[in-house]
Amino acid sequence: MPRDEPEWIMERRRALGERIGDLRAAAHHSQESFAEATGISRRTLQRIESGDGDPRYSDLLRIAAALKKDMAALVETGSS
């Protein structure tokens, strides 16, 4: 992943990963069981949750579906 991303993008990526991890944990999934439920590799899920991975649109759709959430709830930033 390019490290020349603006800091605000990296901050939002980390916030997204944290939100996904919190929702996953609240749904009582381990990373392993959630990876299995979404069809996303555990390593990819780890990278998304840590903010190191830049999730594909299809990954976000799978995550939202597994959490029974609208994808907008995953990506909303709370700021304009």
Q: Is the pLDDT of residue 22 over 60?
A: yes
SS (H, E, C) 15-39: HHHHHHHHHHHHCCCCHHHHHHHHC
Using CB atoms within 10 Å of the CB of residue 51, give its burial: 0 to 12 exposed, 13 to 18 middle, 19+ buried. Answer: middle
Model confidence over 48-79: pLDDT tens digits?
999 998 999 999 999 999 999 999 988 876 65
Name, in order, each residue with C-beta under 8 angstroms of 14's C-beta and a sequence gap of 6 or more: 50, 51
Question: Domains in the chain and their CATH numbers?
Answer: 7-74 (1.10.260.40)
What is residue 8's predicted lDDT score, i.e. its pLDDT?
Answer: 93
DSSP state of 78: S
For the entire predicted model, the pTM comes to 0.87
